[in-house]
Amino acid sequence: MLYHLFTHLKDIDFPGMGLVNFLTFRAMAAIVISMLIAFFAGGRIIRWLQRKQIGESIRDLGLAGQMEKKGTPTMGGIIIVLSLLVSVLLVCDLSNIYIQLLILTTVWCGGIGFTDDYIKVFKHNKEGLSEKGKLVLQFSLGLLIALTVCISKDIPTDQLITTIPFVKAHEFDYSWLSPFHGQLGVYCSWGIYMIMIIVVILACSNGVNLTDGLDGLSAGTSAIVSVVIGLLAYLGGNIINAQYLNIMYLPGTGEIAIFMAALVGALIGFLWYNTFPAQVFMGDTGSLTIGGIIGVSSVLIRKELLLPLLCGIFFMESLSVLIQKYWFKYTRHKYGEGRRVFLMAPLHHHYQKKNMPEPRIVTRFWIIGIILAVSTLALLKIR
């Protein structure tokens, strides 16, 4: 809103309004605005949650310090969503298709998470929204995003190309995966691309959700990932930087950098209350929203194939759950007794079971996240 107001004032030669032309200025404004909103609104929202007795119900899993968290306010993702949306609505170009899709993602995933938390807290149903229901709603969002990316004239899709490291120009064409040629091959390529988009969105959303098990772990790791996605969006949206780094130039994606800056600010503000010992948990309202945004933004800037490295923490957390689940089923079928690979899944609980202090686990996961982030950026210079 402010962006469009300042643009109008600039058109009539109002002094100083030319700053809105600079993505860096608006990105800095976005991060400051969302951070301040999270700081000042966060305390009020936490007190409201406490008055409404919206606390976390804890199932005793034998983890150190677990039961002390009982009653800690949950649904704190409201702080993140509120801070993010207000900042974005103020400083982003709302006519930009990428911003529109990311706002849709925020509201959609936030709605799914809020519904899940509401059922858990107010309906006293610990299962919340059914797993099938979540997947259907997330799949619907993925399909909608995929169709928009493929159909919209505002998003360049002349070729189904994305970014991968180690190869010339860092480009991978999805049409290479099609077993057919001609028009049938074109349709098949589009189908493969749409399936990839849906899988990425589902994986990211649920990956962040699984990681949200220790104070500050999900928020801090997500902030690191968001910084890198914002930087890649800024570089890819600038033709000079894109040509210099020999990466894909995607007009208009620079606005995604502003959106991600707002998300980083909201996450930092939320961390003020979420670091150990946490005063509030983000709940599914926050984790599903953050994961959805990361997945959709990576697709929009054509960097989805870099996510296994960039989001390595989320990937390993999800993988640990799958390994534990299927190995247990396999060994129970083969030996009559289920066996485990990890002491407990997701992975961060494995280290808790080894009596490692929670702040140490979180800090080390953050360090690994930073290493993975730097590695992702470094790969763009390796051919």
* pLDDT band, very low/low/confident/very high, at 130 (cuts 50, 70, 90): confident
Instruction: Please report the pLDDT score of residue 162 as a whole number.
Output: 85
The full 3-state SS of the chain, as one line of letters, equals CHHHHHHHHHHCCCCCHHHHHCHHHHHHHHHHHHHHHHHHHHHHHHHHHHHCCCECCCCCCCCCCCHHHCCCECCCHHHHHHHHHHHHHHHCCCCCHHHHHHHHHHHHHHHHHHHHHHHHHHCCCCCCCCHHHHHHHHHHHHHHHHHHHHHCCCCCCCCCEEECCCCHHHEEEHHHHCCCCHHHHHHHHHHHHHHHHHHHHHHHHHHHHHHCCCCCHHHHHHHHHHHHHHHHHHHHCCHHHHHHHCCCCCCCCHHHHHHHHHHHHHHHHHHHHHCCCCCCCCHHHHHHHHHHHHHHHHHHCCCHHHHHHHCHHHHHHHHHHHHHHHHHHHHHHHHCCCCCCCCCCCHHHHHHHCCCCHHHHHHHHHHHHHHHHHHHHHHCCCC
CB atoms within 10 A of CB 166: 8
Residue pLDDT, tens place only, 234-274: 999 998 888 887 788 899 999 999 999 999 999 999 999 99
- The answer to whether 296 and 62 have CB atoms below 8 angstroms apart is no
Give the number of other Cβ atoms within 10 Å of residue 210's Cβ.
20
pLDDT-wise least confident of 126-130, 211-215, 343-347: 126-130
For the stretch 324-362, pLDDT in tens is: 999 999 999 888 888 999 999 899 999 999 999 999 999
Give the distance, in angstroms, between the CA of residue 266 and the centroid of all CA atoms in the same chain. Answer: 13
Q: For residue range 45-91, what is the model confidence (pLDDT) as tens digits?
A: 999 888 876 666 555 555 655 566 677 888 899 999 999 999 999 99
State the first-to-last Cα distance of the chain, in angstroms, to the nearest integer: 42
Give burial (CB, 10 Å; 0-12/13-18/19+) of 348. Answer: buried
- 34-38, 54-58, 328-332, 376-380: the lowest-pLDDT one: 54-58
pLDDT for residue 156? 78
pLDDT of residue 254: 93
16: left (phi over 0), alpha (psi -120 to 50) or beta: left
Domains of the chain, by residue range, sit at 20-57+70-306
pTM > 0.85: yes
User: Is residue 323 predicted with pLDDT exceeding 90?
Assistant: yes
Number of Cβ within a 10 Å radius of residue 301: 28
Question: Based on C-alpha coordinates, what's the Rg of the chain?
Answer: 21
* CA 370/CA 197 separation, integer angstroms: 25
